[in-house]
Amino acid sequence: MGPLEMAAGSPLVAESYSFLLESANEITDSLLREKVLQVLENPAPSFMQQAKDPAAAALLWERIAVRADKQASSLEDLFAPCSDPAVSPQPFWSAPGSNYDRHHAYPGGLAVHTAMNLKVSLALARSYYDIYRCRASRNVVIAAQILHDSQKPWVLQWNQDGSCRQQKSIAGERVHHVAGLAESVYRGIPCEVVLAQASAHVYPGNENNNRKLAYCLETACLLANTDPADYGVTGHKLSAAWAGVEPLIIHMGDSNWVLSLQAAMATVTALKQYALTEFAMSEEELASPVFYSLRNYVFSMCTMIKLYEILSGKGYDGFRAAVREIIH
């Protein structure tokens, strides 16, 4: 069973992806709603249509090479292979949520991660109104949080051995972040949504962060062949368009990685112990398709955070019993 089949067979992944679709359908701006749904249904890196032939790819690479990871030598090396920019290499719902050594790194992890972030963001928006009577745009919150990681299906493609690609960096960020912004800009997502989306990793408000955000957005606009001024960046600085509570809500809503990264480290270690003792795997097999298949299946069915709760509360014996129940 491969990663797509595992994600397709997970009730948790299906529930998370359904929530994202339902939330996107609640966007009242019909044009924005349609654009967000299109990304969920086909998260293709369409901005790469500008690089379909070698000459165009070289020109686009020349624009951004100085901002890219020094280990990258081309667009494909920096991001990922892209045989058809109009079609995502995998569905949104099958992608992992991060690099294989980080959080939500299992089939369907992206849908679970994004659903959690969106639920937190919507709860924060409600709380800002309940306490401060501050009206955050629900449309912006839903769209920005869904779109933030929308290029992980491309940059985190599954490898043949069951692991996933490792990300490089650009403009001081992991490539999924800048690629997601470039895709939103290329698809004509409104400025206020893109500004909120850009704030997922770094919150606006101080000079250092504003400089980082401007550089990141400027890079995304270079990739999308769009004037950065259209998206709040003039003279390498942010404009007043960054006012409002939505960017901070998106930033705080994307903070689940703190717990989920800790959960990933602990549960992967525990699952390796399980594989060694219960399946008599060798140390070499822990870095092979044999273990990766077990890992992908277990976490797609139960999630790292749930198993971390069990491991923390009931110890390894409780963890072992839970894993046995999942696979038998």
pLDDT at 241 over 80: no
Whether 211 and 223 share a structural domain: yes
Tokens of 104: 């939500």
Average the pLDDT over 67-79 and give the result. Answer: 91
Whether 152 and 263 share a structural domain: no
Whether 34 and 100 share a structural domain: yes
Whether 163 and 39 share a structural domain: yes
Q: What is the torsional sign of CA 98, 89, 143, 16?
A: negative
Whether 114 and 261 share a structural domain: no
Pairwise CA distance, residues 176 & 153, whole Å: 9
pLDDT at 115 over 80: yes
Q: What is the pLDDT of residues 133-167, one digit of tens each?
A: 999 999 999 999 999 999 999 999 999 999 999 99
Whether 13 and 79 share a structural domain: yes
At residue 305, the pLDDT reads: 96
Average the pLDDT over 185-200 and give the result. Answer: 95
Whether 144 and 279 share a structural domain: no
Whether 261 and 248 share a structural domain: no
**Which value, to the nearest 10 degrees, does the dihedral of the CA atoms of residues 55, 59, 62, 64 take?**
-130
Whether 93 and 229 share a structural domain: yes
Whether 286 and 212 share a structural domain: no
Note down the domain range covering 306: 257-327
Average the pLDDT over 226-250 and give the result. Answer: 84
Whether 147 and 217 share a structural domain: yes
Which residue, of 234, 253, 272, is where some domain finishes? Answer: 253
What's the domain count of the chain?
2
Q: What is the pLDDT of residues 267-317, one digit of tens each?
A: 999 999 999 999 999 999 999 999 999 999 999 999 999 999 999 999 999
Predicted model pTM: 0.95
Average the pLDDT over 17-38 and give the result. Answer: 99
At residue 240, the pLDDT reads: 57
